[in-house]
Amino acid sequence: MRKPSVGNSPRSSRLTETAQQHWGKFLAPGDWAVDATAGTGRDTVALARMVGPTGHVFALDVQDPALQQTGQALAAAGLLSRVTLFRGDHSHLPESLPCEARGRLGMVCFNLGYLPGGDHSITTTAASTLAGLRQSLDLIRPGGVLSVVAYRGHPGAEAEAGIVEAFFTRLPNPWRQLLRIETGMADRPGPVLYLAEKMPGPAA
Ligand SMILES: C[S@@+](CC[C@H](N)C(=O)[O-])C[C@H]1O[C@@H](n2cnc3c(N)ncnc32)[C@H](O)[C@@H]1O
């Protein structure tokens, strides 16, 4: 029997690992990045490694169990000093970040859905995700990337995934979609990975 496409399935783990491999091509030591859905902290740890000791990661989540898990994962990896971890809603990203973050971020990533092993009723929503995605466009620097893993298997996920699909289909200039990886089968849709780049302008 095929596994259901939930946030902590082997299939979604593989897709988040694929996402992290792509991030490494765009993030450099010294970059600033945002993990807009900290969850278990796996993505935050990956980002903290990529930005190095001179970079910084801002990681947020709406629930304390996620912040605790992320804090523990960072502490175990010895990366706490590279990360500002806070309780927050990604639909209010600009107010949650220092002013200098605007136009400076090398990446904002969203891994949607619910906390694996946590309360499945606390999930990202179409409205908050769309707000966070729109705000990210201005926060990211030229050459930086926006990454989203969208799920389609839990209540509300299909509508949210539809909003994300439409968002990446109609990106404004100077944004360009780099990647779309869809997993699953017609009768059991799996998560989808999207990656878009803010194209650097012509050299002055
Ligand atoms: C699939 S998990 C994230 C997985 C995580 N990136 C990791 O590496 O384990 C989704 C997370 O989004 C969080 N979340 C839901 N709505 C949110 C919001 N509006 N702002 C920030 N985080 C939110 C949930 O609490 C949950 O922990």
Give the DSSP letter string of 3-15.
Answer: PP--TTSHHHHHH
C-alpha span between 179 and 194 (Å, rounded): 6
**CATH number among 3.20.20.80, 3.40.50.150, 3.40.109.10, 3.30.2310.20, domain 10-198:** 3.40.50.150
The model's confidence at residue 9, banded by pLDDT at 50, 70 and 90, is low
C-alpha span between 161 and 141 (Å, rounded): 25
Q: Which residues lie below 8 Å from residue 149, measured CB to CB, with a gap of 6+?
A: 12, 15, 16, 19, 110, 111, 112, 191, 192, 193, 194
pLDDT single digits (tens) 24-64: 999 999 999 999 999 999 999 999 999 999 999 999 999 99
Domain ranges of the chain: 10-198
Radius of gyration of the chain (CA): 16
Rounded average pLDDT over 88-99:
97
pLDDT of residue 3: 35
Please say whether the beta carbons of 122 and 65 come within 8 A.
Answer: no
Mean pLDDT (the chain) is 93
* pLDDT surpasses 90 at 98: yes
Please say whether the beta carbons of 164 and 112 come within 8 A.
Answer: yes
C-alpha span between 112 and 153 (Å, rounded): 11
The model's confidence at residue 187, banded by pLDDT at 50, 70 and 90, is confident
pLDDT of residue 12: 72
The type of residue at 67 is L
Closest atom of ligand 1 to 40 CA is 9
pTM of the predicted structure, to 2 decimals: 0.94
pLDDT of residue 85: 98
* Parallel, antiparallel or unpaired: strands 83-87 and 175-185: unpaired
Please say whether the beta carbons of 108 and 136 come within 8 A.
Answer: yes
Q: Which residues line ligand 1 at a C-beta cut-off of 6 Å?
A: 7, 36-37, 39-43, 60-63, 66, 89-91, 111, 113-115, 122-124, 128
